[in-house]
A = this chain, B = another copy of it.
Amino acid sequence: MDKLSLQNPLFVTYAIAAAIMILKAASMSWLTVVRMMQVKAGFRSPEDLKKTPLNRDPDPKQLEPNEAVERIRRIHMNDLENIPFFLAAGFLFVLTDPSLLLARVLLYGYVGTRLLHFLAYLTGRTHDTRATLWTPGSLIILYMAGRTLYVALGL
């Protein structure tokens, strides 16, 4: 069967996990916007202090870091450090022809732990909790890339 067909259960598993992670990462920009609108602060560019329909009472303090906004930016940054590599590693991984069970455990496991990590970060849980929820996802990326390398090298 065509490897990249959305009839192929292995590729379907990848496509579902990848699409959810893309939706998640792209939503962080919107969450940043929502927070900036709520606190009317956390802007970054000098021109954001111009009076416009979206900012009727500009104030230089709006350019100072605002923790409610910075938290979302940190979460977003964490996504940028992880999700693009998940998308690439997961794609290469399904081309190594793993079992469907393994693919589902790793790809959906990644999605599950990343969503839990997001909730923990959003609600300000301890560093230990956040680290515990980040670790499986990172190990899954390393495993998928490592397996790709192993198979590609013909080992």
- Interface of A with B (CB < 8 Å)? 2-4, 6, 12, 15-16, 18-20, 22-23, 25-30, 33, 43-48, 50, 52-55, 67, 71, 74, 76, 80-85, 87-89, 92, 95-96, 121, 124-128, 131, 134, 138, 141-142, 145-146, 148-149, 151-153
Known pairs A89-B22, A142-B26; A16 contacts B125 (CB<8 A): no
Residue from B48, B121, B127 within 8 A of A54 (CB atoms): B127
Question: Pick the contact of A126 from B26, B47, B67, B146 — CB < 8 Å?
Answer: B47
A30 lies within 8 A of B141 (CB)? no
Q: How many copies of this chain are found per oligomer?
A: 3
Q: Is the CB of A44 within 8 A of B4?
A: no
